Amino acid sequence: MPAKYDETNVVNNLNTLSLTINNKMARKDIIFSIELIKETRNILKTISTKKLREYNQRLDEYETTINRLQLIQTSTVNSMDKINDYTNDGDEDHGLSSGQRGIDMLKKSIAILDDTQQTGAETMEELARQREKLEKARNNMREIDDNINESQKLLTKMSTWWRRITS
């Protein structure tokens, strides 16, 4: 009976993660989701079910999505901080000419652009790693399929051979 309860918890946690990810996530939602993933992984360690692989796969997908969202959110917060820094600097004139303020604004915009490009590059790297994993999984599935087909052929040959011997 406890295994069924644990599996129900896993399904509930996965559904909660799905709903959380599909809505706009605030920082507290990301932290909650990370904790929920940890809790669900601990539950999965204690149960044995036919759906264990499916649950782990869904959990991995959610974890990847949450990590990506966290990276985007962190980048956005950093960009907003830089914009706020500029805005605060703009409140105080410091005796700068409008041309100098324009140059400062351009420099800060370039810094924000650099951060955005870095985030984009990190996201692309993560996507490349995920693609590589998917390609490996697909190749493994093809290899397994080939092995199954070969095994079926061998079994057919063996059964034909066995019928000849026993006849």
How many residues would you count in the chain?
167
The C-alpha angle 68, 60, 22, rounded to 5 degrees, equals 55
Of 119, 115, 30, 114, the C-alpha closest to 71 is: 119
pLDDT at 97: 73
**What are the average pLDDT values for consecutive 10-residue runs of the chain, which has 167 residues?**
61 73 65 82 78 81 80 68 56 62 78 82 84 87 89 92 86
Tokens encoding 155: 């079994």
Q: What are phi and psi of 24, to 5 degrees?
A: -65, 130
pLDDT at 1: 39
pLDDT at 78: 65
Of 8, 137, 111, 25, the C-alpha closest to 71 is: 25
Tokens encoding 44: 């999965």
Contact between 73 and 31 under an 8 Å Cβ cutoff? The reply is no
pLDDT at 37: 82
pLDDT at 134: 86
Q: Where in the sequence is the domain holding 21, given as residue range(s)?
A: 2-166
Domain count within the chain: 1
pLDDT at 158: 92
